[in-house]
Amino acid sequence: MTKLLLVDDEASIRNLLRMTLEMDGYEVLEATDGQEAINVFEKESPELALLDVKLPGMSGMEVLERIRRINPDAEVIMITGHGDMDMAIECLRREASNFLIKPVSEELLSLSLKRSLEKLNLKKKLRQYTHNLETLVREANIELERAYTFRENIIENSPDALVSIRKGGEIILFNSAAERLLGHSKKDVVGKMNIVDLYPPGVAKKIMKDLRSGDFGGKGLLQKREVQILHKSGKTIPVYISAALLFEGGQETGSVGIFTDLSEKKKLEKHLIRSEKLSSLGKLAAGIAHEMNQPLTGILTFASVLMKKFSKDPDTCKDLEVIIRETNRVRGIVQNVLDFSRETPPSKKPVQVQEIVQRALDIMSPPTNFPGIDLKTGFQPNVPDILVDANQMQQVVMNIVINAVEAMHGRGSLTIRTRSSGSNVEIELKDSGPGMSEETLENIFDPFFTAKTSFDALGMGLGLAISYTIVKNHGGEILVTSREDTGSTFTIRLPLLSE
Ligand SMILES: Nc1ncnc2c1ncn2[C@@H]1O[C@H](COP(=O)(O)OP(=O)(O)OP(=O)(O)O)[C@@H](O)[C@H]1O
Ligand SMILES: [Mg+2]
């Protein structure tokens, strides 16, 4: 039921009107003066009001204004006397909905109220409509923002580096993966650097040319290609690049490139090649070494026979001694090669990692054998056992120690530490020697690679190749970091007892 406030100081008029109104189906609230009218209006919030212009105390006009302030949408119909036309017009100016002249005819009242009701309904519909529209706009905004954030997230969290440029090369997008790959931070790149700064000379230009040619995957596209890009440090990094030109209204506006880091893949490939090289070289070497053993034994036997024969001729004996010594040296080398190529599976037993290091050191007995070298050890307590062939692993440690000692030429320090690290156990051997150039570092695990030339430390270049194979057969790896002048660190990483 629609609530209606009826305000008149005359009880007879109120009663008369109330009858008509109730018959028309309104819930009628009454007030006899202005203040009461305001109170009821505030309390009951009727949507319709019938208001006598002339009221005791507060005038009808004033009540109209107060009601308007409380609810601007309420429909207020003023009731005026015959002679009050001016007043009626004033009411309309102050936004009364309508006015009726006393005595109020039933028909006119019903009609007028009907119209007011229609207006109220319209206003309600309009309000609902506006509200719906606002909700729709708000929802659309939220959706838009969500879509934007979603896209931003995809770009930002892509595992591949994403770089976008304006035509001309200015970088406008540089995601987190790009930051990680290239070492630059976003704020130093976006709007500040040009795409040519990210490539070695000439590369960016070539990529743009190929991109526009359409010969590499379609118009404006460049399909997966291997290129080098520049890290902040100046180092080049191998990557795959895929790129696309960006257009707006048919005009080229820029381009976007996706970079996949290939460093790890290259490293794995290199490892694989190295393993294969080691294995095939090993087999070849083993064959040759085997064949050489017999003639070497022959030479040694006959040299000994000759020694006896010429025992009275010291000059010849001296020469024969050289033959025997050098032949023995060759034999040693052959034995080394056979050791290297012998694919004996390691006989593994659980052992404490520091025991391996300690045993290796006991055999080499420093400092007698390493004069001038300051040897330090640090064994982490309670490291779990590892499952290894202790003899083979000992040999690995010895090979690396000997290399370090030889590299330091009687002056420097060697620190050997053992520790557990995640699911691995590590032996770290850090020397203060001359370190290695990048080129040397690339080759040290290759069989027969040696940089040693002086006679007293003539290397065969097998120590690390053998060590590499042994550690690999144990499911581990040898990591090396080295810089010229600051020394080298070899880390033997072995998996914890797992088999
Ligand atoms: N700690 C080190 N410091 C500097 N250079 C090293 C170090 N360890 C290895 N190298 C370099 O790596 C090369 C290869 O080492 P590797 O042990 O395989 O062979 P080698 O010591 O030359 O000969 P071999 O061990 O067969 O007697 C060495 O010749 C040396 O140039
Ligand atoms: Mg060596």
Identify the sign of the CA torsion 152, 154, 160, 165. negative
Give the model confidence (pLDDT) of 30-81 as tens digits. Answer: 999 999 999 999 999 999 999 998 888 888 889 999 999 999 989 999 998 8
Tokens of 499: 């088999």
Flag whether pLDDT at 490 surpasses 50: yes
Which of 444, 446, 489 should be mutated for ligand 1, with most atoms under 8 A from CB?
A: 444
Of the listed ranges 89-103, 232-246, 269-283, 406-420, the one predicted with least confidence: 269-283
Where do the structural domains in the chain lie, given as residue ranges?
A: 2-126, 158-261, 266-341, 349-495
Among the bound ligands, name the one nearest to the CA of residue 337: 1
Which of 464, 483, 488 should be mutated for ligand 1, with most atoms under 8 A from CB?
A: 464
The Cα 304–Cα 101 span in angstroms is: 150
User: Which atom belonging to ligand 1 lies closest to the Cα atom of 403?
Assistant: 8
Q: What mean pLDDT do residues 307-329 have?
A: 91
The strand order across the sheet containing 48-52 reads: 26-31, 2-7, 48-52, 75-80, 98-101
Question: Of 272, 262, 174, which is closest to residue 225 (Cα–Cα)?
Answer: 262
Which pLDDT score, from 0 to 100, does residue 450 have?
87
Give the model confidence (pLDDT) of 337-353 as tens digits. Answer: 777 666 556 788 999 99
Domain 2-126 and domain 349-495 have a common topology:
no
Which pLDDT score, from 0 to 100, does residue 498 have?
53
The Cα 400–Cα 468 span in angstroms is: 11
Q: What mean pLDDT do residues 456-469 have?
A: 78
Flag whether pLDDT at 452 surpasses 90: no
Which pLDDT score, from 0 to 100, does residue 291 have?
86
Give the model confidence (pLDDT) of 6-21 as tens digits. Answer: 999 999 989 989 998 9
Per-residue pLDDT band for 365 (boundaries 50, 70, 90) equals confident
CATH architecture of 349-495: 2-Layer Sandwich (3.30)
Q: Which residues line ligand 1 (CB under 6 A)?
A: 399, 403-404, 407, 431, 433, 436, 440, 444, 449-452, 459-465, 488
Centroid of ligand 1 to alpha carbon of 386 (angstroms):
26
Q: Report the CATH superfamily, name and number, of domain 2-126.
A: Response regulator (3.40.50.2300)
Which pLDDT score, from 0 to 100, does residue 456 have?
47
Q: Which residue is listed with tokens 């090369």?
A: 169
Give the model confidence (pLDDT) of 25-35 as tens digits. Answer: 999 999 999 99
Nearest CA, atom 1, ligand 1:
404
CATH architecture of 158-261: 2-Layer Sandwich (3.30)
Identify the sign of the CA torsion 143, 147, 148, 152. positive
Give the model confidence (pLDDT) of 195-223 as tens digits. Answer: 999 999 999 999 999 999 989 988 899 99
